[in-house]
Amino acid sequence: MHKHVEWDEPGADSVLRHFEQDPSGYSDPGPGDILSARHEGAVVRVKVEAYLEGTSIGEVVAIIAVDNGRRLKSHGKLDLGDTVRLPDDRRALERTIGEANDRDDDD
């Protein structure tokens, strides 16, 4: 069962918007691909297990604080290891973030 997530709007960082200019560079995600999106301001990376009708289903493999790049074990109601659904229109290109800290956050 997947956890329901309200993904942030990707705005100018939308993957779909980016590839409108060059559709030949876009392809549907497949098993093992890592996608990015935003949830409550944090960057979330999802490892794709399946792709159905414009939505990826996969495991949360990273949650990253945008302000300092710190890796988190959870953010809001989202935890590492959760299975989520990520629609194509919520995928986001990752912005440059602060210096990453290799330690996991204990929060």
Q: Mean per-residue pLDDT for 27-33?
A: 92
State how far the alpha carbon of 15 is from the alpha carbons of 27, 32, 98, in Å. 11, 18, 21
- Domain boundaries, position 68: 11-97
Q: What pLDDT does residue 81 have?
A: 97
Of 9-23, 25-39, 72-86, 87-101, minimum mean pLDDT range? 87-101
CATH number at residue 73: 2.30.30
Rounded CA separation 19/35 (Å): 15
Measuring CA to CA, which residue among 19, 11, 3 is closest to residue 86? 3
96 pLDDT tier (thresholds 50, 70, 90): low
Rounded CA separation 5/8 (Å): 9
pLDDT of 1 above 90: no
Total count of domains within the chain:
1
Q: What is the pTM for the complete model shown?
A: 0.83
Rounded CA separation 76/3 (Å): 12
Q: Look at residue 58 and tell me if it is in a domain.
A: yes
Q: Look at residue 47 and tell me if it is in a domain.
A: yes
